[in-house]
Amino acid sequence: MKKAVYPGTFDPLTIGHLDIIKRAVKLVDELHVVVADNYKKKPTFTSEERMEMIKRVTHDVDNLVIATTNDLVVRYAEKNGIHLMVRGLRNIQDYENEYALYQFNRNINRNIETIILFPSSRNHFVSSSAIKELVVHYADISPYVPKEIIKEVQERLRPKSSESI
């Protein structure tokens, strides 16, 4: 059985993430979407909330495992017999970060390969941080966030007072 892991913070999940998930599941028998916290970021949603959002949006995908880890993703892969990591690459900054991460992962486990999936042209600029800024300023996020989670994202991120309007 060919398995892969697609890790991310998914805070919140975007249509760019969903695009990568739906394309990656076609390449393997089982795709593990792993919510992994980045120590540099302070997440808006808990790991459990992010996993639940992913489940809601991907309920129609059969060969998907949704999990979370506090460890390195490369170790999650080792523990779960996964030899392929899927990463999305939007721009040159992503390239630099992903290339460094790839080198660290290869030093930890040379048996785990990384493949890059590029976003579709309509998603190449979509990021979770941009979504957060749009919500705070009451802009429409429907082109960028799966419809199943828009309300939840707005409720969590919008200012509680009207002074920001």
How far is Cα 20 from Cα 22, in angstroms, rounded to an integer? Answer: 6
With beta carbons less than 8 A apart as the criterion, state whether 33 and 18 touch: no
Say how many residues make up the chain: 165
CA 79 to chain centre: 20
How far is Cα 59 from Cα 54, in angstroms, rounded to an integer? Answer: 8
What residues have CB less than 8 Å from 140, skipping those under 6 apart? 134
Q: 17, 32, 50, 87: which one is catalytic? A: 17
Q: 75, 90, 132, 158: which one is catalytic? A: 90
User: What letter would DSSP give residue 144?
Assistant: T
Active site residue 17: yes
Active site residue 128: yes
SS3 state of residue 85: strand
With beta carbons less than 8 A apart as the criterion, state whether 117 and 86 touch: yes
Q: 47, 50, 87, 128: which one is catalytic? A: 128
Q: 2, 41, 122, 151: which one is catalytic? A: 41
Positions marked catalytic: 17, 41, 90, 128
